[in-house]
Amino acid sequence: MNKRAMWAIIRKDLKVVLQSKAVLIPLIMVPLILLVILPGVGGLLLANADADSQIITEFRSETGAFFDNLPDSLNQKLEQYDNEVQRITYVMFNMFFPALYLLLPVMAANVIAADSFAGEKERKTLEALLYAPTTDRELYLAKIIGPWVAGIAIGWLGYLAFVLVLTATTLSFMGNIFIVDVTWLLLILWVVPAAAGLGLGAMVLVSSRVSTFQEAYQLGGMVVLPIILLLFGQLGGVVYFSPMVVLIVGAVLWVLTLGLIGYGAGNFKRGELIARL
């Protein structure tokens, strides 16, 4: 393995990505809205809500069926709390948020890969790279490592921000940091890398068929769909992220990811890439 050459390619791709507004804006806005503003506002509202207030009572009665049918494992967790606001807070951020959160690594890796695969084609910088003294495999690995690692890092940083924001807004009335547990740990270490890989793998596939960053970006967004379905599944109370569910979701994502990345590797051949330039 020509590590120095690979590192040069990774550095180049990330440096170039950092210059693109079309990439940076979603990379900043999505986590900001999803993991800072949304939980921040939600946390503040809940912190100031009175458990006996009309809003809470109404909310509770309207979502009655939903709350009555929570999975046992979740109900056990809720026993530690003694008022409705705490329970609603817990359910909100442990049941609805994980799937929403998973959008972040998918999206981040996806949009970065759009720039370094399709964008590179569009900018016509691929040709010189193909003449470099690397094997096809080294070149492919170098091209996927950047977006993958960046997607994971952004996912982790996003989680950190999420924890800080929620701690700041809810610790006073929750009494504990309720979004750091085994489930979240599994999510972070097992599912986030797979999710970033899925966003990347889908983009590798899309990029070989389109010629501009914009096209790739739009088509690539379609991989976010299954994640949204997952989210809807939860909203309907179908899926709760218990450790077991997290392991299974992660495994499914890994299978998809490795399939896509492997397929991409098989198609990443100099001769074909240059003929399609």
Partner 1 sequence: MASHAIHIEGVTRRFGDTLAVDDLSLSVDVGEVFGFLGHNGAGKTTTVRLLNGVLAADSGQLHVLGLDPQTQGPQLRARTGVLTETPSLDERLTAIDNLTIYADLYGVAVQQVKQRVSTMLETFGLSERAQEKVGGYSKGMKQRLALARSFLHQPDVIFLDEPTSGLDPVAAQEVHEMIRHVSQDEGRTVFLCTHNLVEAQRLCHRVAVMEQGHLVAMGTPKELTHEVGTAVTYRLEVAQEQQAAALAVISRMPVLQDVEAGDEALTFASSERDSVPDLLNQLIAAGIRVYALTPQATSLEDIYLALHAREVNKGKVLGGVR
Residue 2 makes contact with partner 1 by CB under 8 A:
yes
Residue 212 makes contact with partner 1 by CB under 8 A:
no
Token pair for 160: 């950190």
Which position among 132, 160, 177, 189 is part of the footprint of partner 1 (CB under 8 A)? 132
Minimal distance, residue 271 CB to partner 1, in Å: 5
Segment interacting with partner 1, rule: CB under 8 A, options 9-17, 30-38, 64-72, 196-204: 9-17
Residue 276 makes contact with partner 1 by CB under 8 A:
no
Q: In the chain, which residue ranges form alpha helices assigned H by DSSP?
A: 3-17, 21-31, 38-47, 54-62, 64-68, 72-78, 84-91, 97-113, 119-123, 126-130, 136-174, 182-186, 192-207, 213-220, 224-235, 243-267, 270-275
Which is nearer to partner 1, 225 or 275 (by Cβ)? Answer: 275
Burial of residue 93 (number of CB atoms within 10 Å: 0-12, 13-18, 19+): buried
Minimal distance, residue 22 CB to partner 1, in Å: 12
Rounded to whole angstroms, what are the CA distances from 199 to 10, 103, 227, 249? Answer: 18, 9, 11, 15
Which is nearer to partner 1, 99 or 142 (by Cβ)? Answer: 142
Minimal distance, residue 125 CB to partner 1, in Å: 5
Segment interacting with partner 1, rule: CB under 8 A, options 10-18, 25-33, 146-154, 248-256: 10-18
Which residues in the 65-124 window bind partner 1 by CB under 8 A? Answer: 123-124
Q: What is the largest CA-CA distance in the chain?
A: 70
Q: How many residues bind partner 1 (CB under 8 A)?
A: 29
- Interatomic CA distance for residues 10 and 145, integer angstroms: 7
Segment interacting with partner 1, rule: CB under 8 A, options 15-23, 56-64, 183-191, 220-228: 15-23
Number of CB atoms found within 10 A of residue 21's CB: 7
SS3 104: helix
Residue (of 109, 98, 118) closest to 153 by Cα position:
109
Residue 214 makes contact with partner 1 by CB under 8 A:
no
Residue 135 makes contact with partner 1 by CB under 8 A:
yes
Minimal distance, residue 151 CB to partner 1, in Å: 20
Binding residues vs partner 1 (CB under 8 A): 2, 4-5, 7-9, 11-12, 15-16, 19-20, 123-135, 270-271, 274-275
